[in-house]
């Protein structure tokens, strides 16, 4: 069977301006997402003397989807290597459900040794009453754990509503004088 080479499409011609060494250095510096993009450029650079490489062959050699290859090649052709080095993912700065004023009041309440808060449910009730916050239990729980290092269900050594004078009297009258 004879193949007419005049009717076959030629491989997309892309000239990579960076050297393979520069691309390898960038590949080591960046993560896996960026590394695949740089691997594509390295493979294209290796096939430049042969007249280019098709997207399908490039896909087979690198293991990258051919549609992604087309996008990355066009991006490189139009804007250079800089946009390929930024993956564009990121959670961004999501606005906190707790304002800075409420954060300070929660911190003050948690650091007060005589606050009477015995658990997250009481803290949630306090936040709803005192701070007028409409917040879910799990949201408040995770917020307090993340920002204040609180842990769940930690036993207290003493009751928060005890009277100091009664404790001193108890220690003085204890057999063996434990209040030393």
| Structure confidence at residue 169 (pLDDT) | 85
Overall domain count for the chain: 2
How far CA 177 is from CA of 62, 80, 99, 164, in Å, comes to 78, 80, 49, 17
> Would you say 45 and 23 are in contact if contact means Cβ atoms under 8 Å apart?
yes
In terms of domains, do 162 and 119 share one? yes
CA distance 66 to 60: 9
Q: How many CB atoms lie within 10 A of CB 179?
A: 12
| Structure confidence at residue 152 (pLDDT) | 61
Residue 79 lies in a domain: yes
In terms of domains, do 107 and 79 share one? no
**Domain final residue pick, 55, 85, 115:** 85
Q: What single-letter DSSP state applies at residue 157?
A: S
- Residues in the chain predicted with pLDDT less than 70, given as ranges, are 1-10, 90-93, 152-158, 176-180
The pTM assigned to this predicted structure is 0.48
Residue 114 lies in a domain: yes
| Structure confidence at residue 115 (pLDDT) | 72
Q: In the chain, which residue ranges form alpha helices assigned H by DSSP?
A: 20-29, 32-46, 55-62, 66-79, 100-111, 120-130, 137-148, 164-173
| Structure confidence at residue 31 (pLDDT) | 80
């Amino acid at each position: 069977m004879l193949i007419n080479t005049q009717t076959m499409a030629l491989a997309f011609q892309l000239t990579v301006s960076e050297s393979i060494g520069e691309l390898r250095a960038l590949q080591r510096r960046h993560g896996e997402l960026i590394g695949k993009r740089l691997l594509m450029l390295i493979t294209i650079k290796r096939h430049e003397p042969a007249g280019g490489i098709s997207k399908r062959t490039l896909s087979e050699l690198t293991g990258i989807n051919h549609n992604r290859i087309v996008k990355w090649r066009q991006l490189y052709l139009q804007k250079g290597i800089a946009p390929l080095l930024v993956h564009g993912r990121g959670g961004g700065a999501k606005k906190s459900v707790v304002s800075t004023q409420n954060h300070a009041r929660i911190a003050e309440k948690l650091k007060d040794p005589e606050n009477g808060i015995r658990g997250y449910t009481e803290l949630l009730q306090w936040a709803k009453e005192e701070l007028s916050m409409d917040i879910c239990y799990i949201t408040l729980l995770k917020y307090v754990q993340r920002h204040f290092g609180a842990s769940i269900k930690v036993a207290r050594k003493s009751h928060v509503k005890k009277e100091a004078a009664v404790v001193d009297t108890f220690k003085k009258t204890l057999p063996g004088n434990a209040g030393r």
